[in-house]
Amino acid sequence: MKLQVEQRLASKKINPTAMRILVLELLLQQNSAISMSDIEKGLETADRITIYRTLKTFEQNGLIHCIEDGTGIPKYALCVEDCTTHEHHDMHVHFYCNSCKETFCLPDHRIPDISLPAGFSPAELNLIVKGTCEKCTQ
């Protein structure tokens, strides 16, 4: 278990400190994207600023990606294994549930091509679908 976590950090060239292992373990347990304060609540010992910098480090090294789901509060989720630092730009769909307020990555649902007006060249796509999630529909 812990070994896998450390390997995952190492594969992204991130020093496996105690704090980073804790944060990564917490992220691995999630099935939805979580905010900085979620992480702060999930860890007894941690200082907000340390978590903030830990997430920045993870993001820069392509371990996680940041999602702006329209709430104004950034959420974080693990990238898929093979995403590289420069190309990990959320090319999949994110789903925000209006009921449980959770944000899900839908990595299998790629964003279809959009036709843009002449002169507009796209670099990055970010599609937020809001609605009701699987759990809350029942």
Partner DNA sequence: CCAATAATGCAATACCATTGCATTGGTTAA
Partner DNA sequence: TTAACCAATGCAATGGTATTGCATTATTGG
Q: Count the Cβ atoms, other than its own, within 10 Å of residue 21.
A: 15
User: Which of its own copies, DNA, none binds 124 (CB below 5-8 Å, type-dependent)?
Assistant: its own copies
Regarding 80 and contact with its own copies (CB under 8 A), the answer is: no
Closer CB to DNA, 72 or 112, in the complex: 72
User: Which of DNA, its own copies, none binds 118 (CB below 5-8 Å, type-dependent)?
Assistant: its own copies
Contact with DNA (CB under 7 A): which of 8, 12, 26, 36? 36
Burial class of residue 114 in the structure, from the number of CB atoms within 10 Å of its CB (0-12 exposed, 13-18 middle, 19+ buried): exposed
CB of 77 to DNA, least distance (A): 14
Contact 39, 52 (CB under 8 A): no
Question: In what order do the strands lie in the sheet containing 64-67?
Answer: 34-35, 75-78, 64-67
Regarding 70 and contact with its own copies (CB under 8 A), the answer is: yes
Regarding 118 and contact with its own copies (CB under 8 A), the answer is: yes
Amino acid at 22: L
